[in-house]
Amino acid sequence: MPRIVLFLDLDYFFAQVEEVENPELRGKPLCVCVFSGRTSDSGVVSSANYVARRFGVKAGMPIKAAKKLLPEESVILPVRLEHYATVSRQIMANLKKFNTPLRVESIDEAVMDITQAVGGDYIEAEKFAKKVKEIIRANFGLTCSIGVGPNRVIAKMAADYSKPDGLTVVKPENVEEFLRDLPVKNLPGIGAKTETLLAEHQIKTIGDLSRQSLEKLEELFGPKKAQYLYLASRGIYDEVIEERPPPKQLSKIVTLKRNTREVEEVMETLAAATSEAYSRLASSKFFASKIGLIAITTRLETITRQADIRLGATLDEVLRSLRLLLTKLLETDEKMMLRRVGVRFSGLKPVSGQTSLNIFSEG
């Protein structure tokens, strides 16, 4: 029986939740932002609807830069991660009712192995995907994009291909054609650094990548990543879809736009990384009792600082703690320049009992 995997991606999730709950926002450029705490414009865009994207706004962009691109009628809202996590958990609970292997990938993504549910039939798989879309729209008023394919990598790329509110089915016999002309950056796991290195070797499309030998890829990336790139570019990288084990910690590290020791500049980037890690924590139904700052200097030293936080701390509380840790760290060495920064949630405890909004509220 051919394996069939479904990948679900909730369209511009945070912004779309705001539109559903405030219909007057529909049709207006809308950005949901993470404010880093110093001024009304300090922070980054976390989610933008497709109206805002037409003006060039995208996730991760500084709020100041986004405002310069947007017209006056645009709406800028603060992120409500606790609320989006609650909606996400409700959606995932609906998916679990299908009794198929399910893995929640993030607050707005999930992957399902629907092989048995559809009897290995791609026609039935398309019907299954349409049913999932109907349930999410009927129960939550939200659209989603779904990809169906022989493995998770193909299914995820198919979901990306069909945004927004799309459905793309890639059968095994169509995998090579689907991948051939796509840029390498479309392959999950390929970031800017990998894309640049591949381009230096004239590897610009996934088709180009699929023609490389495993030996050459190992020379460039080492055995583990080379194995993934070799198989994924050929559409045959496979993995078992099952629920993730409870996390021991959650972290996210990002590279700064430039080497700096300016607190505001660092916090702008750190706020986006923290928002992403926090949303994963909240959607996984875990609290953290400790928050950690990870700082990588231009001398390639990795320095960590940690503080206790209350269980159920809000994103604003977490960012305030990180700002304090960062400020104190930089005060220890006036010549310290940072290259990368990150956040780590640890001391995780599962949420017990009712998972309503008040468990995340302040006070």
* Beta-carbon contacts of residue 41 (< 8 Å; ≥ 6 apart): 63, 64, 67
Query: Of the candidates 68, 97, 80, which has an alpha carbon nearest to the alpha carbon of residue 18?
Result: 80
Mind telling me the catalytic residues?
A: 109
The helix/strand count (H/E) of the chain reads as 14, 12
What token pair was written down for 186? 């479309």
* Beta-carbon contacts of residue 191 (< 8 Å; ≥ 6 apart): none
SS3 content of the chain, % helix, strand, coil (to 5): 45, 25, 35
DSSP 311-351: TT--HHHHHHHHHHHHHHHHHT-TT--EEEEEEEEEEEEE-
- Alpha carbon distance 156, 106 (integer Å): 13
